[in-house]
Amino acid sequence: MADDISYVKGTIKVKNAEETLVPFYPNTLSTLVFDPETGTSLESILNSTLKTSNAMSEGCIKDRWLTNVTDRSMDEQLNGSMLVAWQLDSKDYEWNIVVNATNGNSRYASVPFVMYNRSGTMTVDWGDGTTSSITSSNWQNAVHQYAVGGTYNVSVRHTNWNEIRIATDYDQDWNSSTSNRYSSYPRYNIIWYFAKSVKNILNPIPPVAGAEYLSNYSSSSMTAVSSDRTTRCMFYYCDNLESVPDNLFANFPETTDFYSCFHKCTRLKSIPSGLFDSNTAAASFQYCFQYCSSLQSIPSGLFDNNTQTTSFQYCFQYCSLLQSIPSGLFDSNTAATNFGGCFRNCTSLQSIPENLFANNTSAVDFNYCFDSTKDIKNFTLRIGSEQVKYILRMFYNPESGTVYVPENSTTYNTFINKMSSCSYYFSSITVIGE
């Protein structure tokens, strides 16, 4: 593989040219390397080769094997003088999903990208022999009706993903009146039919510029509430979604909010362990998997890289088939303050890991954390925070339980006071200061 690469006088060339590639730096250019012989930075080299009109004909940074690397990036040593990571150019990035167009949704499907007031062209292969070229003037074509109901592989390409936004429902009001508005206005249909048809997501979401929140109830107009590269409510009510890949959000390293991201994805049975590995800035997972009623397990290490997260409030509420929690689930989340309702109504949950919250020294709120988890009979739990103030209905009257808390702390006093004032839910709980 390395024999196919040459580095000569500031130009990198690859044999058997197939795909244009550009340098990939996860968060910053601070690791950018340079040629020690000339002192020329790699950024300068690539700017002068890839970004010129004749770069394609020169065959710079192009080779099919580079497109087959797991997680779209790799390290390659170039003549012993340069170490660089590569990824597909955003122009050539293809997003792949599987949709299930049923008679129940009138055999419609959509891709959740908004071309409204955007430049460039998005090309969609709908998997039934039909393709659509979508621009700002005909962007409603992001919705497609199949002649025959069934499962289809859909691929999406765009000339520049950084020019468009992903559509998401900021208001989250999915009652009957909202359903009517989705059927009435093409702009809302983009979300509605994507939510009702998407079955599998096969690779990371493209590096779009941000989100376009559809928030105007009274007309077909659209309001851009936020231009952030947010994941808030991104797959809200995708109740046919069955699987997502590792690093689904790899192109959103700066996002801070996963609020209701998979809310009511009722067919999602499992979560890949690397789902949030790239999202080191994530601050909130509030309601993230709420009502994922088919979810059976949570992978160890799911939140290991999310060290800035402060809230897991109602994160797994109503995951009614969830039977266990990995013991180190929150070990890295020392900044987390809110675990209120986190596992509330997880009615199949059998146990609580003893050290689940031992590392969460900033925790303040555990209100309703295990409320309505009636099958947890006996448990031992250690809480590492000295600052806990809220534990209303933290447990659902288990047969017995022992909670270890820091002695002579706010946490200790909170538990002692609550056991006295709310004995129904704490009558079988023993609190020990240590």
Separation of alpha carbons 208 and 165, rounded Å: 5
C-beta neighbour count of 420 within 10 angstroms: 9
Given a contact cutoff of 8 angstroms between Cβ atoms, the answer to whether 199 and 98 are in contact is yes
Structure tokens at 131: 């393709």
Q: Is 70 buried (19+), middle (13-18) or exposed (0-12) by CB count in 10 A?
A: exposed
Instruction: Write down the pLDDT at residue 160.
Output: 76
CA distance linking residue 254 with residue 256, whole number of Å: 6
Query: What type of residue is 380?
Result: T
Residues 164 and 158: beta-carbon distance below 8 Å: yes
Q: What is the largest CA-CA distance in the chain?
A: 79
Contact between 254 and 282 under an 8 Å Cβ cutoff? The reply is: no
User: Strand 198-201 relative to strand 143-145: parallel, antiparallel, unpaired?
Assistant: unpaired
Could you read off the pLDDT of 344-378 as tens digits, one per residue? 999 999 999 999 999 999 999 999 999 999 888 88
CB 21 within 8 A of CB 49: no
Sign for the CA dihedral angle at 151, 138, 115, 284 comes to: negative
Q: What is the pLDDT of residue 399?
A: 74
pTM exceeds 0.85: no
* pLDDT tens per residue across span 81-112: 222 333 334 445 789 999 999 877 789 999 98
Nearest to 410 by CA among 429, 426, 432, 389: 389
pLDDT of residue 331: 98
pLDDT for res 115: 67
pLDDT of residue 340: 98
Exposed/middle/buried for residue 112 (C-beta within 10 Å: 0-12, 13-18, 19+): buried
Residue 131 DSSP symbol: E
For residue 361, give the amino acid letter: T
Half-sphere exposure of 129 (CA within 13 A, CB side): 2
Q: Do 211 and 232 touch, CB atoms closer than 8 A?
A: yes
Sign of CA pseudo-dihedral 113, 117, 122, 124: positive
The more confident residue out of 197 and 39 is 197
- pLDDT for residue 164 is more than 90: no
Integer Cα distance of 81 and 430 in angstroms:
63
For the chain, give the mean pLDDT: 75
Over the stretch 205-252, which tens digit does the pLDDT of each residue have? 988 877 666 544 333 444 444 445 678 888 988 999 999 999 899 888
Question: Quick check: 172 pLDDT over 90?
Answer: no
pLDDT per position as a tens digit, 251-260:
888 889 999 9
In this prediction, residue 193 has a pLDDT band, given cuts at 50, 70 and 90, of: confident
232-243 burial, b if ≥16 CB within 10 A, otherwise e? bbbbbbbbbbbe
